[in-house]
Amino acid sequence: MSSLDVNMAQCAWSENILKLLRRMNNFYLPGSSRANCLRFEIDGAQVGWIPPHVASLLTRYPAVFRPPHGGAVSLCEGLDSYEKRSEAVDAVLKDLRKEESLTCLKGWRDEKYSVMPKFCDPPSMWMERSATCLFGVKRYGVHLNGYTVSKSGEVSMWLARRSLTKQTYPGLLDNVAAGGLAADVGIKQTMVKECQEEACIPAAIAEKARPAATVSYTYEDEEGVFAECQFVFDLELPLDFKPVVGDGEVQDFQILPIHEVKKLLATDDFKPNCAMVVLDFLIRHSFIDPDTEPFYQEFVAGLHQTI
C-alpha cells in the first residue's frame, strides 16, 4: 500500500470515528430536541430531560407530576421521600406500558436505576431501567477492557459478540464484560459480577481490574434521551486464560491484535458505546498519538461530554 493509500485509509478511519462520536452526542448538536425538552426536577435540582411528547402524557397524573412550569416538570410536593417518589412514578410507568408509542417500555426489565443530580449525590428515587430514556435521567454502567500482553510486548484485546437474542444491538461486538449499575450496588461489585456472569472470569482475576476512566455521552433517538456514563476498567488477563460464555448475554469471545480492533472501531460491527470505551483505551495506552491523529482533541472531548 502506497503512502497516499495509507493516508486516505487513515483519514477515512478518523472521519468514521468522528461520525460515531457525533451520533453518540447528538443531543448536543443543532437540530436536536434539547431546546424543546423540559427539565425534570426533584427538589429544585435537575435530574433529567423530558421530551415534549412524554411531558404531555404525564399531565394525566396530576397526583404525581405538577403541570409543566418554567420549562420544567417536577413531582408533587407530597412526594417528599425516596420511597414515595419511587413508588408513585413506578405506578405511572406501569400504567404507561399500555401506550403503543412508548416502545422502550416493551423492554421492561424489572431493574431499578438510581436517579440523582450527580453521581456523588444521594439518590432522589429509583426508576425502572427501560423508562429512564423517557425522563433523560443519567444512567451509569461498567465496562471492562480485557486484554493480554505477549512476552514480546504485543497487545491483544478480548471482545465479545452479543447474543442474537439481545433486546439491543444483537450480534454486535462488545467489551468482554459490561452491565448497568443497579440501585444500591457498588461499581466494583457490579464489574466483578458482570465478569463472572458474562465471561466466567473468576472473582480472583476480576478483582485485579483497575478503574481507568469514565466515558460520558448523551444521544437521542425515537425512544427518548439517553444520558449515560460508563465506569471503565482495564484488566490484563493471563495469556492462557480464555473467557467462556456464561449467562447467554454473548454468543462467543474472540481475541484480536490491537491494530485489528482499531480497524473494527470504524465499522458498523461494534455496539456504539463499546466502541467508545475501546477508543478511550487506545488513547490512554498511546495507540492513538496526537502527533499523527489530527482529530485527537475532538476524540478526547467526544468521550467526555456531560450536560
Q: Considering the domain boundaries, does residue 45 fall inside one?
A: yes
Mean pLDDT computed over 56-76: 96
Q: Enter the C-alpha cell of residue 152.
A: 514480546
Q: Answer whether 225's CB lies under 8 Å from 49's CB.
A: yes
Q: Region 162-189: what's the mean pLDDT?
A: 94
Strand partners, 210: 234
Domain of residue 80, CATH code: 3.30.750.160
251 and 162 assigned to the same domain: yes
Q: Does the residue 106 lie in any domain? A: yes
Residues 147 and 259 in one domain: yes
The per-residue pLDDT for range 215-230, each reduced to its tens digit, is 999 999 999 999 999 9
Q: Is residue 307 part of a domain?
A: no
Q: Are residues 84 and 98 both part of a single domain? A: yes
Q: How far apart, in whole angstroms, are the C-alpha atoms of residue 75 and residue 66? A: 6
Mean pLDDT for all residues in the chain: 94
The per-residue pLDDT for 167 is: 81
Confidence band for 307, pLDDT divided at 50, 70 and 90: low
> What is the predicted pLDDT for the residue at 53?
93
Q: How many alpha carbons lie under 13 Å from residue 12 in its C-beta half-sphere? A: 9
Read off the pLDDT of each residue in 248-252 and give the average, rounded to a whole number.
Answer: 88
Same-domain pairing of 89 and 192: no
Placement of cell 452479543 in the chain: 162
Whether 4 has a pLDDT exceeding 60, the answer reads: no
pLDDT at 5: 59
> What percentage of the chain exceeds 90 in pLDDT?
91
Mean pLDDT within 156-165: 96
User: Which residues on adjacent β-strands are paired with residue 213?
Assistant: 232
- The residue-averaged pLDDT of 119-138 equals 97
Determine, yes or no, domain membership for 291: yes
- The closest alpha carbon to 160, from 200, 214, 199, 201, belongs to 199
Confidence band, pLDDT 50/70/90 cuts, at residue 306: confident
Domain check: are 145 and 266 in the same one?
yes
201 pLDDT tier (thresholds 50, 70, 90): very high
Give a yes or no: residue 249 inside a domain: yes
CB contact at 8 A, 298 and 18: yes
6 pLDDT exceeds 80? no
Cα separation, 53 vs 250, whole angstroms: 35
Whether 1 has a pLDDT exceeding 70, the answer reads no
Q: Which pLDDT tens digit goes with each residue over 255-282?
A: 999 999 999 999 999 999 999 999 999 9
Q: Is residue 151 part of a domain?
A: yes
- Give just the sign of the alpha carbon dihedral 118, 124, 126, 127: negative
- State mean pLDDT over 58-70: 95
CATH of the domain at 227: 3.90.79.10
Give the C-alpha distances (Å, rounded to integers) separating 105 from 20, 140, 196: 26, 19, 28
Please determine, for residue 8, whether its predicted confidence score (pLDDT) is greater than 80.
no
Q: Cβ-count burial of 57 within 10 angstroms (0-12 exposed, 13-18 middle, 19+ buried)?
A: middle
Clarify whether residues 52 and 179 are in a common domain. no
| The last residue of a domain, from among 104, 121, 136 | 136
Q: Provide the domain count of the chain.
A: 2
pLDDT value at position 2? Answer: 62
Last residue of a domain, one of 136, 159, 178: 136
Q: Which domain holds residue 176?
A: 3-25+139-302
**pLDDT mean over 151-158:** 97
- Please state, in angstroms and rounded to a whole number, the distance separating the CA atoms of residues 213 and 295: 20
pLDDT > 90? residue 294? yes
Contacts (Cβ under 8 Å, ≥6 apart) of 301 = none
Whether 58 shows a pLDDT value over 90: the answer reads yes
| Contact yes or no for 271/248 (Cβ under 8 A) | no
Residue 270 counted as domain residue? yes
- If asked whether residues 118 and 37 sit together in one domain, one would say yes
Clarify whether residues 217 and 151 are in a common domain.
yes
Does the residue 267 lie in any domain?
yes
Average pLDDT score over residue span 157-164: 96
Asked if 191 and 199 count as a contact pair (C-beta separation under 8 A), the reply is no
Q: Are residues 130 and 145 in the same domain?
A: no
Residues 218 and 98 in one domain: no
Do 132 and 143 sit in the same domain of this protein? no
Q: What is the pLDDT of residue 45?
A: 96
Among 121, 136, 151, which residue terminates a domain?
136
**Confidence (pLDDT) at 187:** 97
Mean pLDDT across the stretch 240-260? 93
CA dist 281 and 158 (Å) reads: 13
Are 229 and 129 in a shared domain? no
